[in-house]
Structure 1
Amino acid sequence: MTQQNSTLENQALALAGVAQFTLYAHELATDGRDLPVRFERATQAIFCTDPDSAVDVYGDRSGVADGIRYLRVHLSGQRPDAQGAAVARYIGQILKLSGKVLGDEQALGRIRGAIDRARLAEPGDVADIFDAAYRETISPIRPQIMLHGEPTYLKNEFIQRRIRTQLLAAVRCGVMWRQCGGGFVSLFFRRKALLSALG
């Protein structure tokens, strides 16, 4: 993404992507909610490696609508419910993790290699490739994301692969947030401006 596109709107939409894919991962862990459209959105975000603007990562704003909806509640100062509070904690961890990933050329190279393999893979193999990429490159970096949920889903290998794909998409959006000039100072002190940029 070029420097001239590092606008507040791009920061807000990148942050919405972090929120959306983190929410999807959380819901997979807590109630096994595996909707095909959610997996498609995650893989689209991961595959879009050279966007002109943040919205390109999702196709259009409808592709990140769940993340925008979450952020509107969170940034407006409304008291979150238990799920919202849990997701907010994970988002904070992912944003910290994304900064470390962005500075780790070896990890970025491995992720790029996994994306190249996934582009050529059969659709049924994509989750396996992204799951392995997450475990090999993201999991060793601290803070490690430890999702809480129902053991039935957390121990299900199919769900595990879906969760890690969603988390990889969240980290991808977190990296984009950093590339757009996002930081914790702007997150805490420009909440109203970010909220306005969501539209």
Structure 2
Amino acid sequence: MAYSIYDRTIAFAGMCQAVKLVQDVARNGNCDSAALSTMLNSIMATDPSDTIGVYGSEADLRIGLESMVRDIDGSSSGNEITRYLVGVMALERKLSARRDSMAQLGDRVGTLKRQTVHFNLLDEQMLSNIASIYLDIISPLGPRIQVSGTPAQLQLPNVQHRVRALLLAAVRSAVLWSQVGGKRRHLLFGRKQMLEQAKILLARN
């Protein structure tokens, strides 16, 4: 199936949004709740009809699109975002090479979907459940992503849950990026095209 620059931009914006929110939570203890909800819902989108269907709408990825345009450069915050992205993509490659881990992940996400009938995704118990999937299945694959932030915030269980849940969402977007033909060379040689696409999407939303 042929995928377009649009599909790759959407999947990459999903990754960017997740890691940008990780940065916000690690520094401030909170983040944009609508954007967080979009990313948590993307974990459950296992059978979307198209790429944007994973996230809902282009407008739901505004933070990710803005981060693409603004953060991925030589600045210190940009470097941190880039470091997270590189770490997430490395985990996705390890995950995709392990059929047992992929099967486990599918089972755990299935359980999560059933729980959403009774619980809101943003409930602390649900965030804890999502975080435990990252801790049990993704994290052991290595290499570990070192999250920078405010030490007092990073010691709080609810902050740790949000960070891990968002890292799981970032890996989900990295899986999508691979599925729509995203490769490392696109970051080196196709970045300009994706940035132009991101600017178009921001202008119309």
TM-score, L = length of structure 1: 0.90
Cα offset, 1:43, TM superposition: 1.4
For 1:162 and 1:7, how far apart are their aligned partners in 2?
A: 32
**Cα RMSD, aligned residues only:** 1.6
Quote the residue 1:64 is aligned against.
Answer: 61
State the Cα deviation string for residues 112-170 of structure 1 (Å, max 9, x = none): 12211111222233212211110011111122111011111111111111111111000
Cα offset, 1:80, TM superposition: 4.4
For 2:46 and 2:9, how far apart are their aligned partners in 1?
A: 18
Q: Residue type of the partner of 1:197?
A: Q
Quote the residue 2:197 is aligned against.
Answer: 197
Secondary structure in structure 2 of the residue aligned to 1:49: coil
Cα offset, 1:194, TM superposition: 1.5
For 1:34 and 1:197, how far apart are their aligned partners in 2?
A: 25
- The runs of 5 or more residues in structure 1 that have no matched partner are none
Judge which range, 14-23 or 110-119, deviates more: 110-119
TM-score, L = length of structure 2: 0.88
Matched positions, count? 193
- The runs of 5 or more residues in structure 2 that have no matched partner are 201-205
For 1:86 and 1:29, how far apart are their aligned partners in 2?
A: 12
Quote the residue 1:28 is aligned against.
Answer: 25
State the Cα deviation string for residues 33-77 of structure 1 (Å, max 9, x = none): 2443233112111111122222111100011111111112356xx
For 1:162 and 1:38, how far apart are their aligned partners in 2?
A: 12
Secondary structure in structure 2 of the residue aligned to 1:140: helix
Ranges of 4+ aligned residues in structure 1 off by more than 3 Å:
none
Judge which range, 12-21 or 112-121, deviates more: 112-121
State the Cα deviation string for residues 83-103 of structure 1 (Å, max 9, x = none): 222111111111121122122
Quote the residue 1:119 is aligned against.
Answer: 113
Map 1:104-115; keep pairs closer than 5 Å.
Answer: 104-115=98-109
For 1:167 and 1:98, how far apart are their aligned partners in 2?
A: 11
Q: Which has the higher contact order (CA 8 A, sep 6+)?
A: 1
Secondary structure in structure 2 of the residue aligned to 1:50: coil
Secondary structure in structure 1 of the residue aligned to 2:140: coil
